[in-house]
Structure 1
């Protein structure tokens, strides 16, 4: 038995000994005498159901979301309670399923008072409370399970039997909160000082547990909540200065949403978020996410991301906080009945809380056609229209492979036109399968095994490669200029340090011209050695090669790749067949581009035109050098 009364007492009393770093435990924002509301206190106070019921009665979309939640709850009644089954080293899938069920069922009970939802939620809570543990060796599992059980305990508190409350409370205490003070677990508190999604998710989950049992353990709750308020700032500051989220679209949906769960919870209880939402860049991150989605509905899936875009309930919190409904331009389409039925977001009930005062059907479109954000993984996102599904959209990134979940993709881009994603990104490869094959997926030093994975290195991305070498892990590519000039929307990134030791200087500019076509310009200054550069673009289209042109065709649409000012260059293709048995297959994809030799010490420029089928383009006149692009 890992826990004993004495051990638990000592851990709580002397937990500052194990503080990593110490100052996180020493900061004070609340004290145990701070008054708090009675149950329910997490996210939705007693009586606030009436506000949601008003929205349901007056807003068609709210009606649809509510009906979908109840339908999902009814389907849950036919399943077995969650079981403790690991997938590889993770219990995370089960923690997430528990959160999905308990949050939905607890919402259904509070809104309808149909006993079937209460009874089933209680079964789920008791089932996971009786697990041997919540797998603290992979701490996200504990965090999500603690949040799940905390919501159920808090929202159903007055309707659970005394025996059930005792069992559930004990599980929150010992299987959840106590493990965050227990140094016998590997890296048991590392998440307190990291900048990535682990910080946001773990702080949110454990704090929900502390808030749920606050009245029974006020000193412990004080310690946990003060620790989280201090710690979560570390991750929130990573959105600075402009809101670009270093880990990309998918992990924005994870980390930022849990961050909002935390902010909303403490603000409900303490009537303040302790000015956390004022951290520079944090509120701007909503614009980042909105601009990341192209006209096809796919996102710019750099790093470990899937190109499938999903409903993001947190966007409704941002829209309300900023009083800017235009942030929900994409969410509006996700909330159509057809798309909503496919939604599997375990936090969907939060949308009913955050969106109850917003009529999504009345929002207006965003105004700007370019969005640029700096930070650890800077991006530039450009489009010709917000309303035309055939619009041109191009996203480019700089950054570094060293960021969490990063790839060797500095300089990479995606391109959409005529409803087709022409230039794409593979995104991530499923982690557990790699780990089960003993691949050190997280070894991101220069010679780390991570960069042998085909989807993660620069050979599979829409960027440059010099002499078949990898990008530099410790390099960094900033976006150094940009312009929203309607005839010449553009951004430029300096890739020089990403290719340190390979070339002297490398800059890439991408321009959306007249809202019709795209030009990729690369300016390279070589070292005192002959260098071969490879320019590559990943596509799912059929490729027909024609000298220094290639015609891409897909779904009856066409796109021309042309290098008009370099007649000596011939466009070619490379296979995307996986080089290792642990690499995922990549059917239906091709790398298209060219190779060129740059003489020692010389400067060379390449201009690649990407022209959708209906665009009218004069390719005979080259663009000015990057230094003369509009800024």
Structure 2
């Protein structure tokens, strides 16, 4: 085997192990197999991968075609199939799995290109073909190896050296992480045939990948939100884990402080129900992912896996058939036993950085406990929404105050919406879900928030009798003639307070307070009763006294907006005369509450 070539001062081992070399060793295979024998949950997941791979025998080779300008869904499907088949071959020794996987990667290798104009397409294709080439190598004949190896170099790695396509190298978001991970996997797969190119590519990716690492705040907040943390961080870790045997230094030495702390971010962004606090472009669904298992292992903190523990114990794995990362979950997670995972120590968490966020809960163990998430920050980060000051709320196992999350990108692009124009009057903010009109925050004078503004956390408490956070929202409104402060908190682990203090100014102002909910809403004056899944929550406006709670559609009726079926806005409007201040206080009281809530103190006294 050819020696590793040192690149740009990168310290690596003298020899590269034979195929398979990406993520997998014989020792790891033995340990994963032992875990699957010892723990029912891991055994079930192993069976799921094997069973899914068997079903692929009867499916055609993945067709690769364009949907608009991209073939990303098809590239990801290719990655899923090849990863499952490769795992099944390595852990069973059945050559039929390898033969089926080889059909996939040889077909991909014959394509004219992997679409470098959208380099994320190249990345997912490269990941798929690299893992297949590496793990199925022994079952490939010389002509198949040559075909696939040439494709990895010519259609995967070489386009990354073309300045027309390699902008990902200078980005500080998830694209950088995904594309660099792919280039490393591709380089490792073909290393012995192109050692200079491979070493150069590995060194370049390690250097470039520090850009997104620096975006993680000191205590771990990823500014693109929890879903893109899962995406970008998972690929970043797959890059580091693949390189670990080659590095003379521990992989942690290639990681920023914030990156290594970000397992806490992921942990605290998941509510008691198992759904995420899905601010920014994100969905509520939480799936097992390899990144959090890696974080738990490398920080020595198994409590990071509290949410994974619940998934593993419930064994509700059916949807994971579609997760291309499931084999990696087994590789990086199977040595953790659910019974050894403790609950986290703190019920509240403050995430610092450009997108400050706070979460709090009444319990970790009780799935029906109260969870409250509060988003500050800005609307200028990649994948951001105008959600400054927004909150989500769960109690009694129901999400009462929800974030509708992202809308399918293709549904907007196909209707000519420029979703990535995030200037003040850009196309992004015409979409209901993305603007402040569709979030659980204040709207002033029916206008958008200021895309250049930033909401800042003023104070925060984790005291048992009152967990709270107070933020300054003044800068996020286009009108700068009033200060706006919002406080949210859980009182006595029993009910929630949302309080806004708005200072006086020289001109009148119109305010809409609103909350997106999927519950059925009955209103009566300053009170609304929300009902869902046999549970109730009371929304009571303590101030202003004459508030009239109403229900509005969760839509602005644009032809391109998602229907947001089942969602509505509950809230109220008020007009404030010039030179008058206003206080808004809303109590959100679960049906299981045992207390009589009292109005709170001014925010200055929280």
After TM superposition, the score normalised by the length of structure 2 is 0.96
User: How big is the alpha-carbon RMSD for the aligned residues of Structure 1 and Structure 2?
Assistant: 1.8
Return the alpha-carbon distance in structure 2 between the equivalents of residues 454 and 281 of structure 1.
Answer: 32
Return the alpha-carbon distance in structure 2 between the equivalents of residues 543 and 33 of structure 1.
Answer: 64
1:111 aligns with 2:81: no
Q: 231, 234, 237: which is aligned to 1:257? A: 234
1:625 aligns with 2:605: no
Q: 139, 151, 172: which is aligned to 1:195? A: 172
1:91 aligns with 2:71: yes
CA apart distance, 1:417: 0.7
Return the alpha-carbon distance in structure 1 between the equivalents of residues 462 and 75 of structure 2.
Answer: 44
Return the alpha-carbon distance in structure 2 between the equivalents of residues 475 and 490 of structure 1.
Answer: 23
User: Which residue of structure 1 lines up, in the alignment, with residue 3 of structure 2?
Assistant: none
Return the alpha-carbon distance in structure 2 between the equivalents of residues 602 and 564 of structure 1.
Answer: 18
User: Which residue of structure 2 lines up, in the alignment, with residue 523 of structure 1?
Assistant: 501
User: Which residue of structure 1 lines up, in the alignment, with residue 456 of structure 2?
Assistant: 478
CA apart distance, 1:466: 0.6
Structure-2 change in CA distance of 1:145 and 1:126 (3 Å)? same
CA apart distance, 1:337: 6.7
CA apart distance, 1:431: 0.6
Contact 1:551 1:560 in 2 (8 A): yes
1:167 aligns with 2:147: yes
1:128 aligns with 2:119: no
Return the alpha-carbon distance in structure 2 between the equivalents of residues 159 and 399 of structure 1.
Answer: 52
Return the alpha-carbon distance in structure 2 between the equivalents of residues 56 and 474 of structure 1.
Answer: 51
User: Which residue of structure 2 lines up, in the alignment, with residue 513 of structure 1?
Assistant: 491
Contact 1:264 1:273 in 2 (8 A): no
1:396 aligns with 2:396: no
User: Which residue of structure 1 lines up, in the alignment, with residue 584 of structure 2?
Assistant: 606
- Structure 1 segments (4+ residues) deviating >3 Å: 31-35, 271-278, 616-619
After TM superposition, the score normalised by the length of structure 1 is 0.92
1:141 aligns with 2:121: yes
User: Which residue of structure 2 lines up, in the alignment, with residue 361 of structure 1?
Assistant: 339
Structure-2 change in CA distance of 1:112 and 1:499 (3 Å)? same
1:321 aligns with 2:298: yes
CA apart distance, 1:491: 0.9
Return the alpha-carbon distance in structure 2 between the equivalents of residues 85 and 623 of structure 1.
Answer: 58
CA apart distance, 1:47: 4.5
Structure-2 change in CA distance of 1:122 and 1:336 (3 Å)? farther
- Aligned pairs for 1:45-60 within 5 A: 45-60=25-40
Deviations along 1:393-437, whole A, 9 cap, x unmatched?
110100111111111110001101111110011111111121111
Structure-2 change in CA distance of 1:273 and 1:578 (3 Å)? farther
Q: 47, 54, 70: which is aligned to 1:74? A: 54
- Aligned pairs for 1:541-552 within 5 A: 541-552=519-530
1:44 aligns with 2:24: yes
Return the alpha-carbon distance in structure 2 between the equivalents of residues 29 and 471 of structure 1.
Answer: 47
CA apart distance, 1:31: 7.2
CA apart distance, 1:501: 2.5
Structure 1 gap ranges (5+)? 1-25
Structure-2 change in CA distance of 1:601 and 1:220 (3 Å)? farther
Q: Tell me which moved more, 273-282 or 134-143.
A: 273-282
Q: Tell me which moved more, 135-144 or 347-356.
A: 347-356
Return the alpha-carbon distance in structure 2 between the equivalents of residues 469 and 86 of structure 1.
Answer: 38
Return the alpha-carbon distance in structure 2 between the equivalents of residues 212 and 601 of structure 1.
Answer: 69
Structure-2 change in CA distance of 1:105 and 1:271 (3 Å)? farther
User: Which residue of structure 1 lines up, in the alignment, with residue 510 of structure 2?
Assistant: 532
Return the alpha-carbon distance in structure 2 between the equivalents of residues 27 and 34 of structure 1.
Answer: 13
Return the alpha-carbon distance in structure 2 between the equivalents of residues 90 and 430 of structure 1.
Answer: 14
